[in-house]
Every structure is written in structure tokens, then in C-alpha cells.
């Protein structure tokens, strides 16, 4: 197992442990997180998903929602096309190089999320690969530059 596949293995271990605890697994995500629901995020320094699952079990929760986030080749190709549209050539070259350095992570799990609901509160455990922040910074910068460029062209 490579370091890149570590999160995928951790998710499988979390799912196995949840099943051992009698929880039902649901692959998905809560959509109403920002509609006034109280959300409690597990301390990101505590990477012990078993303790998080134990809290769910001790509260009598029946369903554990899980998800794994990845970046697809199509997503990165789309961002690469967006970079091609940038008028600032120097930034475009830098962003192309940055994106190229991340290409090896396509299809690998960048983040795992475990969630459960109890008494109107959403409990969330998230764990990200060490490279996820860099990928998100690159993609966010591309999005912002494209948006700025479109606004300038509209005015």
C-alpha cells in the first residue's frame, strides 16, 4: 500500500469497524448542513475514527453516513482548459505547472468524511490527505482568476 492509498484504507477500516458496532452504512452526504443545523466537527488533530464511531454507537445512532472525495482526470482536464483561457500568461504557466504536479493524485482519495445525526445535530469527522490543501489552493486560484477575468470582460 502506498501513502497515497492510506486514506482509502482508513475509510475501509472505519466502515468495517462501524459494521462491527452494528451501525448501518450509507454512502452519501447531508445536504442541509448550512440550513441552520448545528454541526459539530471532530477535532482534526484526533485521527481516531474508532472513537468517533464509538460516540455514534453510545448515542444510539443507527446510520453512519460516509463518503470519499477524489479528483478525477476529467476535473483536472477541465481546470487545465480553464487555465488555457487565462489572459495572464505568467500565471497560466505557473498554474499549469502546479496542476501538472498534482496529476498523479487523480483517482486517489483526497478526503474521507464520516457523519451522523443525533437530536438535530450533525456530527462530522473529516480526514484529508496531506496533498489536498495544495490541490484545493490551485483549483480555488483558477476559479477566482476565471471569475475575475469574466467580470472584467463583462464590464
% of the chain at pLDDT higher than 90:
74
Cβ neighbors of 103 (< 8 A, separation 6 or more) are 76
Looking at every residue in the chain, the average pLDDT score rounds to 91
Residue 58 phi, psi (nearest 5): -65, -25
Q: Where are the domains of the chain?
A: 3-154
Predicted model pTM: 0.82
What number of other Cβ atoms are within 10 A of residue 94's Cβ?
A: 14
Query: Is the predicted pLDDT of residue 8 greater than 50, yes or no?
Result: yes
Q: What is the pLDDT of residue 151?
A: 86
Cα separation of 102 and 9, whole Å?
A: 21
Cα separation of 68 and 56, whole Å?
A: 19
- For 70-128, what is each residue's pLDDT tens digit? 999 999 999 999 999 888 899 999 999 999 999 999 999 999 999 999 998 999 999 99
In order, the DSSP letters of 18-62 are HHHTTPEEEES--S-TTTT-EEEEPPTT---HHHHHHHHHHTT--
pLDDT band at 2 (very low <50, low <70, confident <90, very high): low
Q: What is the pLDDT of residue 1?
A: 47
Query: Is the predicted pLDDT of residue 31 greater than 80, yes or no?
Result: no
Amino acid at each position: 500500500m502506498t501513502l497515497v492509498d492510506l486514506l482509502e484504507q482508513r475509510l475501509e477500516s472505519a466502515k468495517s469497524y462501524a459494521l462491527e458496532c452494528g451501525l448501518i452504512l450509507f454512502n452519501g452526504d447531508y445536504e442541509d448542513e448550512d440550513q441552520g443545523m448545528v454541526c459539530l466537527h471532530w477535532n482534526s488533530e484526533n485521527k481516531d475514527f474508532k472513537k468517533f464511531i464509538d460516540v455514534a454507537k453510545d448515542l444510539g445512532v443507527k446510520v453512519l453516513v460516509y463518503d470519499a472525495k477524489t479528483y478525477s482526470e476529467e476535473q483536472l482536464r477541465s481546470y487545465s482548459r480553464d487555465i488555457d483561457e487565462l489572459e495572464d500568461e505568467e500565471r497560466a504557466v505557473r498554474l499549469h505547472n502546479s496542476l501538472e504536479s498534482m496529476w498523479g493524485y487523480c483517482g486517489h482519495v483526497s478526503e474521507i468524511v464520516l457523519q451522523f445525526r443525533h437530536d438535530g445535530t450533525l456530527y462530522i469527522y473529516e480526514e484529508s490527505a496531506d496533498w489536498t490543501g495544495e490541490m484545493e489552493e490551485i483549483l480555488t486560484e483558477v476559479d477566482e482568476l476565471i471569475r475575475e477575468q469574466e467580470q472584467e470582460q463583462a464590464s
